[in-house]
A and B are shown apart, each in its own frame.
Chain A
Amino acid sequence: MLLTLLAAAGLALLRVRNLFAVVMLAGIYSLLSAGLFTVMDAVDVAFTEAAVGAGISTVLFLGALALCGHHESKPGHTPLLPLIVVLVTGGLLVWGTMDMPGFGDPANPVHHHVADHYIEESYPEIGIPNVVTSVLASYRGYDTMGETTVVFAAAVGVMILLAGRLGRRPQPEGKGDGG
C-alpha cells in the first residue's frame, strides 16, 4: 500500500546523511503523497502537491544546497531525549485517534456541517462544476487573499535576506532562490 511506501521513504530520509540524496528522497516522498491524495479523491491537492512539493521545493532545496554545501556531519549528542519526546508525543496522538470516527465513513460529523451546502448549492450559486474551485475562490475567498498576502510577504522576506548578500559580494553565483 502507498502509505507503507511513504513510511519507508520517511525512514530513509532519517538515515541518509548526504543532503543531495535527502532532497531527492524528499521529492519522492512528495510525489508519493501526491499519489495518495489522488487515491483519496483530492485531485486538486494532488496536482498542487506534485507541482509545488515535488517540483518547486526540490528546486529551492537544490539552490540552497549549492550555496551551503551538501554534507551533514554526525549528530554530536545522543538522540535519547528527542527519541523519548517523539515516542511520548506519538503515543498521545495515537491515543487521541481512538476517539476518532473510522476512515471513509459517510456519517462522520465532518461531512455534515457546511460540506453538504457546498456540494448541493455551489453550482446554482456560483456556476462552476469543480466544487473545490468555487469554495476556494468564492465562499472562502478571504482565505485565499490572506494566502497570497503570506506568499507576498515571504517573497519580500527572501529578497531582503538575499539582496544583502548580493550587495556585499557582487559575484554572479547567487541564484536559485526566490519565493
Chain B
Amino acid sequence: MSFDLLVSHYNYWIVIFLMMVGFYILISRGNLIKKIVGLNVFQTSVFMLYISMGKVSGATPPILVYPYGEGDVLYSNPLPHVLILTAIVVGIATTSVGLALAVRIKEAYGTIEEDEINAIEARTEAAE
C-alpha cells in the first residue's frame, strides 16, 4: 500500500468510514429518531462520494467565466452536482415522512424505542 494510493483515495475512505458510522447507528440503535439521524449521515456521505468523483484538481466551479464559452478554463464536472441537488431535496422529503411516522408511533405506543414497541406488540399478541 503506497503513499500515492493513500493520498488519491483518502477522500473515498473517509466517505466510506462516515457511511459505515451512519449504517451502524441505523442498525444498532433502537431509538427511531436516532435511526433517522443515522440514515441522514449515511445519505450525506453518499453525496460526498459523488461530489468527490466530480472534482477535477485545479478546476473552478462549473459557472462559466466571462466571455462565455471562450478562454481556457478548467471546470469541475457539473453532472454529479445536479444529481446531488436532486438527491438532497428528495432526502429531506423522506426524512420528514420518517419523522411524521415516528410522531404517529409515539402516539400509538407511547414510546419510540424499538424494543419497547416489540414488547408491547408481543403482549397484545399474547392477550389475543
Contact = CB atoms under 8 A, between A and B. Distances in A.
A156 B79 CA distance: 30
A85 B77 CA distance: 34
B51 A72 contact: no
A157 B99 CA distance: 11
Interface string B12-35: 111011111111110111111110
Interface of B: 4-5, 7-14, 16-25, 27-34, 36-38, 40-41, 44, 47-48, 51-64, 66, 68-69, 74-86, 88-97, 99-104, 106-107, 112-113, 115-116
A14 B44 contact: no
Across chains A and B, which 8 residue pairs bring their CB atoms closest together, nearest first? A102-B8, A154-B93, A104-B57, A41-B76, A82-B28, A64-B99, A131-B62, A10-B21
Interface residues of A, number: 94
B27 to A, nearest CB: 5
Interface string A126-138: 0001111001100
Contacts of A89: 20, 23
Contact of B102 (A29, A68, A72): A68
Nearest to A76: B115
A75 B48 contact: no
Nearest to A39: B55
